[in-house]
C-alpha cells in the first residue's frame, strides 16, 4: 500500500515524499480512507504508530479541496489602523478555524503542530496555530488574528479564549481528540464537553485513545455519530519491537549503582529516565551531570521556555539523558531515543506502555529497562497482564541483588502499597546499615563511611568513562561550587538536615505528585 493509493492530495504526497515517508502504517491505512470520506472515527493504537498522520493527512486533504475564501481588500492589521484613523474603537474579529485538535499537554500540541507544518508544506492556504498554556496572551492574540484554518490546543487555555470571545467555532468542520484517555485522566472532561458543545453538530469527530472502554467509551458515544472503530490490537500494548526487561534491586544505593552501570552501555544513543516525582527528576539529573552525563530534567514545574529549550537540546543531541515525569514526557518523538529506564515504576500499567513508547518509534527497535524493588512484584504482574506478555528478569554480573524477588501475590492488609517508598521486610531506601559498606545516612548525596566506592556516578574513571578522571569527587560528594547548572533545575543545596541526599532530605511527596 502507498500513500498515493489512499487518494491523498498531490501536494500532500509531495510533502510526504520529501520527508521520506514511503508507505502508511497499519493505523494510517485503515483510518485515512474513512476520514477522507468524512466518517467519524474511534481509534485505539499505540504511541509511535503514526496516529498524528492518521488524522492530519485526511484532514489536510479535505481542507485543500475547500473553495478559496475571497481575498480581503485589507489585512486585519490594516483594518484596525483604518478604524483608529476614523476615531473608532477597533472591533476584534474572532478566529473561525475549520479544524480543532485537542491534546492533553503542550509538548504533544507542539509535536502535532510541527507535523502539520511538514505535511502541509506545499499547501499555501492552510495555516496552523498552537494555543497553549505558558505562551504569552499577546502572542496568541496575534496568531489568532490571522484566522488560521487549523487550531491545535490544550483544553484549559482554549476555554480562556472561548470565554473572551476570541474564537468562534461556528465554521468548524473537523474535531480531533488526541490521547483522549489522558485528557480525561487529567480532569479535562468538563472542559472537553464545553468545547464540544460550542461546535456544530454536523462536524466530523475523530477520537484517538489508548483504550476505548469505560469513561472514554461513554464520552465517545455522546460526541460521535455512527463512528467507525479501529483497534490495532495486535500491537497496541505489546511493543514487540522493544526489548523489555526487569532488574530487581535491594535498596536505593543498589538502584543508583546499577543505573550508573547501565547508562554506560555504548549502544545507548539517547535515553529517557522516568521518575515518580518532579523532585526526583531534578535530583537525578543534577547527579548525572556531576557524573559526566549530558543530562536534563523535564517536568511540569518548569516554565515553558525552559521546557522548550530542554526539548530542543534533546532533539539536537546535546542532551543524552532526559530525566522526566510521565505528563511532561507525553508526546516526545525523538528518533535518537534508544533506551527508556523506569527508575520508578508507574502507578498505572497504561502509563508503562506510554513510557516505553518513547523509544522504538516508527518501527525502530528500542530497549526498556525497569529497576524494581522486591516489594513491587505485583506492579510488574499488573503490567504483564495489561500488555499480555511476560517481562524477563535480568541480572548484571557484579550487581546481583542479595534478596530473592518477592512472590507476585496480592498484598496483605496493612502491607506495602504502591508509592509509599518502603519494603515490607526492609528499611526505607537510603537509610540504615547495608551489606558491603558502612552505615549510610540519607540517600543519593548522603555521607559515606566505610571507605571509597569505585564505579558510582562520580569516582575515579581512569579506565575511560564519560567524564575522564574525577579524583577527589565521589558518587555522593558535594556539588562543585560555581559549576554549570542544568536548565530548569530546582534551587537550593543538596544536603538536608540529616546529612542529606535525594529522598531523605525533606518531607516525602505522594506518589502521584508529578
The pLDDT tens digits for 236-273 are 456 778 999 999 999 999 999 999 999 999 999 999 99
CATH, residue 402: 3.40.50.300
User: Which residues, including other chains, have CB under 8 Å from residue 222's CB and lie 6 or more apart?
Assistant: 193
CB 259 within 8 A of CB 271: no
Cβ partners under 8 Å of residue 62, min gap 6: 36, 38, 173, 174
Distance CA 68, CA 136 (A): 31
Number of domain units in the chain: 2
Same domain, 191 and 290: no
Last residue of one domain, picked from the residues 208, 235, 262: 235
| 120-154: pLDDT as tens digits | 999 887 899 999 887 888 888 888 988 999 999 99
What pLDDT, on the 0 to 100 scale, is given for residue 33? 95
CB contact set of 86 (below 8 Å; sequence gap of 6+): none
Q: Is residue 513 part of a domain?
A: no
Average pLDDT of the chain to the nearest whole number: 78
Instruction: Say if residue 226 is in the same domain as residue 311.
Output: no
Decide: 13 and 57 in contact? Cβ < 8 Å. no
Please determine, for residue 318, whether its predicted confidence score (pLDDT) is greater than 60: yes
- 211 with 251, same domain: the answer is no
3-class DSSP state of 82: helix
Is the same domain home to 261 and 191? no
Per-residue burial over 237-269, b if 16 or more Cβ lie within 10 Å, else e, is bebeebebebbbbbbbbbbbbbbbebbeeeebe
The closest of 297, 346, 56, 371 to 182, measured between CA atoms, is: 346
Long-range contact list for 159-165, CB < 8 A, 24+ apart?
159/191, 159/194, 159/195, 161/131, 162/194, 162/195, 162/198, 165/92, 165/94
- Tell me what pLDDT residue 402 has: 86
DSSP string, 243-258: EEEEEEESSHHHHHHH
| Domain housing 121 | 4-66+74-235
Domain membership of residue 512 (yes or no) is: no
Task: Compute the average pLDDT of residues 168-180.
Answer: 95
The 3-state secondary structure of 337-354 reads EEEEEECCCCCCHHHHHH
What is the arithmetic mean of pLDDT over 95-104?
Answer: 95
Q: What does the pLDDT average to over 16-29? A: 88
CB 212 within 8 A of CB 223: no
- Rounded Cα distance between 182 and 350, Å, is 10
**Helix/strand/coil for 142:** helix
Q: Which residues pair with 194 in a beta bridge?
A: none
Question: Is residue 22 included in any domain, yes or no?
Answer: yes
Boundary (domain end) residue, out of 183, 213, 235 = 235
Q: Which of 327-331, 364-368, 404-408 has the lowest mean pLDDT?
A: 404-408
- Specify whether 177 is located in the same domain as 270: no
State residue 1's pLDDT score. 81
Residue 437: its pLDDT value, please?
40
The reply to whether 211 and 348 lie within a common domain is: no
Domain boundary among the residues 235, 259, 288 is at: 235
> Is 509 a member of any domain?
no
Question: 3-class SS at 132?
Answer: coil
DSSP characters for 15-71?
HHHHHT--S--HHHHHHHHHHHTT--EEEE--TTSSHHHHHHHHHHHHHHTSPPPPP
Q: Which pLDDT score, from 0 to 100, does residue 89 have?
A: 62
CA 342 from chain center: how many Å?
14
Amino acid at each position: 500500500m502507498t500513500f498515493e493509493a489512499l487518494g491523498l492530495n498531490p501536494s500532500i504526497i509531495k510533502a510526504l515524499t520529501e520527508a521520506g515517508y514511503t508507505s502508511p502504517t497499519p493505523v494510517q491505512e485503515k483510518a485515512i480512507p474513512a476520514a477522507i470520506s468524512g466518517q467519524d472515527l474511534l481509534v485505539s493504537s499505540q504511541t509511535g504508530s503514526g496516529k498524528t498522520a492518521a488524522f492530519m493527512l485526511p484532514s489536510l486533504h479535505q481542507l485543500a479541496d475547500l473553495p478559496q475564501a475571497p481575498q480581503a481588500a485589507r489585512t486585519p492589521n490594516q483594518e484596525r489602523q483604518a478604524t483608529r484613523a476614523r476615531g473608532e474603537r477597533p472591533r476584534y474579529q474572532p478566529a473561525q478555524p475549520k479544524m480543532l485538535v485537542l491534546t492533553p499537554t503542550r509538548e504533544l500540541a507542539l509535536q502535532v503542530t510541527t507535523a502539520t507544518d511538514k505535511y502541509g508544506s506545499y499547501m499555501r492556504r492552510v495555516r496552523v496555530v498552537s494555543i497553549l498554556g505558558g505562551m504569552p496572551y499577546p502572542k496568541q492574540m496575534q496568531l489568532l488574528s490571522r484566522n488560521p484554518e487549523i487550531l491545535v490546543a490544550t483544553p484549559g487555555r482554549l476555554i480562556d479564549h472561548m470565554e473572551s470571545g476570541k474564537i468562534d467555532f461556528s465554521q468548524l468542520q473537523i474535531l480531533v481528540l488526541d490521547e483522549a484517555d489522558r485528557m480525561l485522566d487529567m480532569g479535562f472532561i468538563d472542559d472537553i464537553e464545553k468545547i464540544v458543545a460550542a461546535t456544530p453538530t454536523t462536524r466530523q469527530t475523530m477520537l484517538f485513545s489508548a483504550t476505548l472502554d469505560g469513561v472514554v467509551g461513554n464520552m465517545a458515544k455522546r460526541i460521535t455519530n455512527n463512528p467507525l472503530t479501529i483497534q490495532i490490537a495486535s500491537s497496541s500494548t505489546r511493543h514487540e519491537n522493544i526489548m523489555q526487561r526487569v532488574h530487581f534491586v535491594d535498596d536505593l544505593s543498589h538502584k543508583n549503582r546499577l543505573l550508573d552501570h547501565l547508562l554506560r552501555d555504548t549502544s545507548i544513543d539517547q535515553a529517557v529516565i522516568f521518575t515518580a516525582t518532579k523532585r526526583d527528576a531534578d535530583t537525578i539529573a543534577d547527579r548525572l551531570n556531576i557524573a559526566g552525563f549530558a543530562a536534563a530534567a523535564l517536568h511540569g514545574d518548569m516554565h515553558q521556555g525552559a521546557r522548550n529549550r530542554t526539548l530542543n537540546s534533546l532533539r539536537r543531541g546535546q542532551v543524552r539523558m532526559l530525566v522526566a515525569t510521565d505528563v511532561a514526557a507525553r508526546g516526545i518523538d525523538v528518533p535518537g531515543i534508544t533506551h527508556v529506564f523506569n527508575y520508578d515504576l508507574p502507578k498505572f500499567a497504561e502509563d508503562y506502555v506510554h513510557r516505553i513508547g518513547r523509544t522504538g518509534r516508527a518501527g525502530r527497535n528500542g530497549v526498556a529497562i525497569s529497576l524494581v524493588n522486591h516489594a513491587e512484584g505485583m506492579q510488574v504482574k499488573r503490567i504483564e497482564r495489561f500488555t499480555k506478555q511476560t517481562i524477563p528478569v535480568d541480572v548484571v554480573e557484579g550487581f546481583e541483588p542479595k534478596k530473592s524477588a518477592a512472590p507476585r501475590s496480592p498484598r496483605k492488609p496493612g502491607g506495602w502499597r504502591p508509592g509509599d517508598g518502603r519494603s515490607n521486610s526492609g528499611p526505607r531506601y537510603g537509610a540504615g546499615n547495608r551489606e558491603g559498606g558502612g552505615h549510610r545516612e540519607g540517600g543519593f548525596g548522603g555521607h559515606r563511611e566505610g571507605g571509597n566506592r569505585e564505579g558510582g556516578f562520580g569516582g575515579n574513571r581512569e579506565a575511560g568513562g564519560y567524564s575522564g578522571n574525577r579524583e577527589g569527587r565521589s558518587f555522593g560528594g558535594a556539588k562543585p561550587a560555581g559549576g554549570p547548572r542544568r536548565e530548569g533545575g530546582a534551587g537550593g543545596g543538596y544536603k538536608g538536615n540529616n546529612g542529606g541526599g535525594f529522598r531523605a532530605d525533606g518531607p516525602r511527596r505522594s506518589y502521584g505528585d508529578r
